[in-house]
Chains A and B, each alone.
Chain A
Amino acid sequence: MTLDLSPRPAAAPLPRQVLAHAGMEARLMLRNGEQLLIAVVIPVIVLVGGVRGADRLGLDYDHPVVDVFVPGVLALAVMSTAFTSLAIATGFERRYGVIKWLGASPLPRTGLLAGKVGALVLVETLQVVVVVGVGLALGWDPAGGWAGALLAVVLGTAAFSSLGLLVAGVLRAEATLAVANLVYLLLLAGGAVVLPASAYGGFGDLVRWLPSGALGEAMRDALVDGTVGWTHLLVLAGWAVVGAALTARTFRWE
């Protein structure tokens, strides 16, 4: 009976709430085997497989294959976390009543969103460390362009996370799981993420306008050529605006 239940209510300072929530969501994401698979394992396999098997795959670029692949795999890593992982996690949060309960906690909705962004940043940082490490081990020689790459990661995260939340906020959890994984696979194969848009022939002019193509191209502009691909960045910003507007209109918390 030592527990003192006398009321002393107050919310923690918002930054502390957001940090706690970001840490919590990142931990949950990394604890989940399937999410870890698409966040880290698949990008590394694609990178190593692409570089080691370039001859057999008939990949031939003006630059060494590893220099072309590392930016693309970084784009893939962003897509996997900001879109697929976020959509699946959020879909199941709705299903299990977590989002509903958090709606009655001191964490405001803006804090919840900020926490999710924080979790994405934490996981993406881990992914970048792993992919860059493996890339350097494979002999990657980046052309600089770090500012352009950072901008691409930020805008790519914004675009993909708004689309991920759009899917998660409308569909049931199982449907979200299926759609998020399917879209990931389709974009991995045909979305000009890892392979440059030029590899797709005439189709490449179309996929450049997809968030996947725009992110991949912006990363390659930055890290292969050392330039800033403003058109691609604008395309990503456009997707982010459209995705956020649609999500704000359609997201259902329960």
Chain B
Amino acid sequence: MRYGERTALDGLSLAVARHTITAVLGPNGAGKTTLLETCEGYRRPQAGSVRVLGLDPVRERQALLPRIGVMLQGGQAWSGVRAMEMLRHVASLHAHPLDVDELGDRLGLGDCGRTPYRRLSGGQQQRLGLAMALVGRPELVFVDEPTAGLDPAIRRTTWELLEQLRTDGATVVLTTHYMEEAERLADHVHVIDHGRLLASGSPLELTRGGSVSTIRVVVTRPFPPGAPESLRAALGDGTEVTLLDELSLVVTGPADASTLARVSRWCEHNDVVPESLSLGRRTLEDVFLTLTGRELVP
């Protein structure tokens, strides 16, 4: 999938199982939105194939669209339309829509039901967007960054709703750059960057990785040049050292107490004064860092 010279999706191949929540995780510009929009039939891939519910999303679009629910990033309603009026309109395009008032209440849209779209807060616009994706009772839902910028309470409400969708028999594909969202919600996580699939698996599979864990080193003065390479050499094969910034790095690998001791010795020899040395289980964030060499949320 290319836009002019830029390649947005590159040889990316993945499958989504029914009745699951799948998270596509990646930093901004990784190709998450392009991936979703290709599944939604907005873009025709230059190479490769896409099947959604067994249908070609471009050629068989009219058969596919009533069966899926879509929440786009950014707005998707007229500036002058009232929140609940918009939801009611979308419901009228479907044969068996959800009860609009109940759905609105569930997403806390009751208070702003008569407010024009342009005066809704960003969070309210996002919740309306999610409601618009769900009101037609789709069997497959594509939600692009459903909770970006939402406050924690509303984020939890949204998560519960997405979990209930799975329980009730729908399939959810969401993009996110929030680790905790992927860890909490997803049955499967696909990590992508630069349009390539870097890793796939359940959150547990991705974070467990055998006996792999992490050691985080935070120092008071910047590391000397070449520190990651020298530390890696001191620790031996099977470990990865990633510099997070000039004052912290993370060691990934079969890290245990003896590794911790070796890190400490390396610090002493290299005149590095650690402020903290901590041993921890690998998080998705660490996985992501190791895979891409960059932080998820810049």
Q: Are B106 and A3 in contact (CB under 8 A)?
A: yes
Main secondary structure of the interface of A (DSSP, over half): loop
Contacts of A24 in B (CB 8 A): 81, 85, 89
User: Per a CB cutoff under 8 Å, which of A11, A92, A93, A103 touches B93?
Assistant: A11
**A-B pairs with beta carbons under 8 Å apart, 14 shown:** A6-B169, A7-B137, A8-B96, A9-B67, A16-B92, A17-B93, A28-B80, A98-B75, A100-B72, A101-B76, A105-B65, A105-B70, A106-B66, A106-B93
Bound-complex Cα distance A159 to B87 (A):
33
Bound-complex Cα distance A86 to B57 (A):
30
Q: Taking the nearest CB of chain B, how far is it from the CB of A221, in angstroms? A: 38
Indicate if B98 sits at the interface (CB-CB under 8 A).
Answer: yes
| Minimum CB distance partner of A9 in chain B | B67
In chain B, positions 75-94 with a C-beta closer than 8 Å to chain A are 75-81, 85, 89-90, 92-94
Interface size of A by CB at 8 A reads 34
Main secondary structure of the interface of B (DSSP, over half): loop
Q: Are B169 and A97 in contact (CB under 8 A)?
A: no
Bound-complex Cα distance A92 to B76 (A):
11
B89-121 interface bits toward A, Cβ cutoff 8 Å, 1 = contact, 0 = none? 110111110110011001000000000000000
Indicate if B40 sits at the interface (CB-CB under 8 A).
Answer: yes
| Minimum CB distance partner of A20 in chain B | B92
Bound-complex Cα distance A112 to B132 (A):
17
Q: Taking the nearest CB of chain B, how far is it from the CB of A9, in angstroms? A: 4
Contacts of B94 in A (CB 8 A): 9-12, 106
Indicate if A32 sits at the interface (CB-CB under 8 A).
Answer: yes
Contacts of A10 in B (CB 8 A): 66, 94-96
Contacts of B286 in A (CB 8 A): none
Task: Given A20-B89, A106-B93, answer yes or no on A3-B99 (Cβ-Cβ < 8 Å).
Answer: yes
